[in-house]
Amino acid sequence: MGRVTTTKKEITLNEIKEITTPLFKKYGFKSAYLFGYYADNTEIIDMDMEFMVEDSEVTEELDMLDWYDMIDDFESHLHIPCQITDMDILDSDHNYIKYKFNQKSILIYEDK
């Protein structure tokens, strides 16, 4: 997993949804939220796009290598470095990711 480069200067929320919805479906997530920098900004900078995802039976079966391959898949489609975190982390106390998620998160995918 290397750094991803893009010549694009901005990415909208609709573009993020269009690109990631098929990927969230492919990997079987129940829901996904965008949070962090890109939840508020459209300008592309050298910062990871952060997603918080709700596991399903399918994604619970992914091992660490599969998880990294999945992140590579997202990065190759978005052309932006990505972090994908399981929602289980929100159950922990005194967590910076939980703080960032609670500040601003946008539901961008829900399996219906």
Question: Domain segments of the chain: what residues?
Answer: 28-110
Please list the pLDDT of the chain residue by residue as tens digits (112 residues): 455 566 678 999 999 999 999 999 999 999 999 999 999 998 988 889 999 999 877 778 888 899 999 999 999 999 999 999 999 888 888 788 888 999 999 999 999 8
Is residue 24 within 8 Å of 12, Cβ to Cβ?
no
- Facing residues of 51 across strands? 34, 84
pTM of the full predicted structure?
0.89
The topology (CATH level 3) of 28-110 is Beta Polymerase; domain 2 (3.30.460)
The tokens for 36 are 């962090």
